[in-house]
Structure 1
């Protein structure tokens, strides 16, 4: 299984599930990243942190640690 951290710039991916526990998982889901939604990877910083994505029509920046918790189909 691949994660959002491994996605390349310019890719559109679909979320299979959000891993993690408690408040961290809830925060990711509150940002609109839920099972089945599409994410477009806009930019990846040179060292991989942060990852800039478009989710449900808005732009969002995620840390590498958060991007690792998003499992893709």
Structure 2
């Protein structure tokens, strides 16, 4: 499997989180509170222009996160 960042994935494709080590510990904790941890299945839904936030979907819930943080989440295809 090829590991890429969440920002490099096509919109709407299901991806499995493989590594969150580069994400800041406080952000990692908040993501875990929302159900995003290693092994979670997520998909990139939207990325706002001009470096704005990204919207991801996890278990039917849409969450907006900073583009910087989305670029540090390593995923692979399911």
Determine which of 14, 17, 36 is the counterpart of 1:12: 14
Q: Kindly report structure 1 stretches of 4+ aligned residues shifted beyond 6 Å.
A: none
Q: Which residue of 1 aligns with 2:55?
A: 52
| Count of aligned positions | 73
What's the TM-score, normalizing by structure 1? 0.80
In 2, the alpha carbon distance for the partners of 1:63 and 1:21 equals: 12
Gaps of 5+ in 1: none
Determine which of 20, 25, 39 is the counterpart of 1:22: 25
Q: Is the 8 A contact 1:40 1:53 kept in 2?
A: yes
RMSD over equivalenced CA pairs, Å: 1.7
What's the TM-score, normalizing by structure 2? 0.76
Gaps of 5+ in 2: none
